[in-house]
Amino acid sequence: MESGYSYSFPATRGMQAGKPFYIAMCPMRIVPRIFTFDEEDVPPELRAQRKLNYQRIPAIARYLLDKPDGYIFSALTASVDSTVGFDPIANSGPSANLGMLSIPMDATILINDGQHRRAAIEEAVKENPDLGHDNIAVLFFVDEGLKRSQQMFVDLNMYQVRPDPSLITLYNHADQESAVASEIATNCEPFAGLTDLERSSLSKRSNKLFTLSSVKHANRTLLNKGRNDRFTDDEVDLAKRFWAVVGELLPFWKLVKRGELAASTVREEHIFSHGVVLQAMGIVGRYVIGHYPDDWWNRLAPLGAIDWSKSNTALWSGRAIQYGKVTKSKASMVLTVNGIKKQLGLELTPEEGRIEKEYQDERR
């Protein structure tokens, strides 16, 4: 809230590198008013932040608006270019670092970390003013000049690592698609016990065949879902049945689970556990289920006779394998689908046929 010629916040004082900093609770409704972000009119060498990516803001604002009773926002970090006041509630003891932080109203309060959250808060509060009564934590540092603010940005972001997509999927219980992927990966054959739930790339020594993120994408292609589409119970059951049928037709997965074959050997020598093939299998499954709803499982029977080895260059070279490596490009996805469909005796769609013709022309 405003007090006289200063902004006043209940705050806790701390020390880092011999300098004081303050943690305060700020009502969201005044965040856009008091926090400055130096935008496009300032060149990079004179800025203390990166440019705002406006494409990110709507998604963050929508997160706030869709989960008013369940959102979580981390603290903003800001620097103040002025002397601040701190009035502790006691002169000694633990309470000496609890009190009221006063910041002059004419001071510039510059966002060092969290500019997209700040912009999203502004948009969300416009649409839902009730959010303005919520608080967000703010770390205030006393500014020591532009170089210090720029160094703060580097220090705050240098060691940040975005969580792995598989781990995000595992922990994102609010997202139904992620929850379905986790359920299938942990309880459905052939994925149960063979899916890495934390990493989206497998090390050479990993005893897993799949990643949770690849299972998620494969389910999306199988059920023809967008990122925010809902899954019905029938669709989830259908996905489980489909993958169970596929698992029965590809015995290598069972051999790995029984310990008769190393997962690393299967991944090194075959392609069917790779993400591009799983997604392609989902597309093929969607086609078969849609065209043969009464016996789609029988239409998949030839899967067991396909040579999935990487050495089968006649089938996979230029499709799932480009320049000797399994690749995830859009063209590779379509050509892998085409290769599987041809082995199953299925017709190609017009678009698949066009890409297949280009592929065959290049190989002549």
| pLDDT tens for the 364 residues of the chain, in order | 444 578 888 999 999 888 899 999 999 998 888 876 555 434 444 344 556 778 888 989 999 998 888 899 889 988 888 888 999 999 888 899 999 999 888 887 888 788 889 999 999 999 999 999 999 999 998 875 555 665 666 666 665 666 788 877 777 777 788 888 889 999 888 898 899 988 888 888 899 999 999 999 999 999 988 777 888 999 999 999 999 999 999 878 888 888 888 989 988 888 888 888 999 999 999 999 999 999 999 999 999 999 999 999 999 998 989 888 888 888 888 999 999 999 999 999 999 999 999 988 888 7
Which residues touch 8 (CB under 8 Å, ≥6 apart)?
1, 2, 100, 101, 102, 103
Chain-centre distance for alpha carbon 78: 26
Q: Are residues 48 and 35 in contact, defined by beta-carbon separation less than 8 angstroms?
A: no
Chain-centre distance for alpha carbon 296: 33
> Would you call 305 exposed, middle or buried from its count of C-beta atoms within 10 A (0-12, 13-18, 19+)?
exposed
Question: What is the distance between the alpha carbons of residues 240 and 332, in angstroms, rounded to a whole number?
Answer: 26
Pairing status of strand 76-80 against strand 135-142: parallel
Q: Are residues 200 and 164 in contact, defined by beta-carbon separation less than 8 angstroms?
A: yes
Q: What is the largest CA-CA distance in the chain?
A: 86
Rounded to two decimals, the pTM is 0.65
> Would you call 233 exposed, middle or buried from its count of C-beta atoms within 10 A (0-12, 13-18, 19+)?
exposed
Question: What is the distance between the alpha carbons of residues 184 and 133, in angstroms, rounded to a whole number?
Answer: 40
Q: Residue 309: beta bridge partners?
A: 270
Render 232-268 in DSSP notation, one character per residue. Answer: -HHHHHHHHHHHHHHHHH-THHHHHHTTSS-HHHHHH
Count of CB atoms situated within 10 Å of the CB of 211: 27
Helix runs in the chain, H state only: 31-34, 57-66, 115-127, 146-157, 165-171, 176-187, 212-223, 233-249, 252-257, 263-269, 275-291, 296-299, 313-316, 330-344, 350-363
Count of CB atoms situated within 10 Å of the CB of 163: 12
First to last CA, the chain: 74
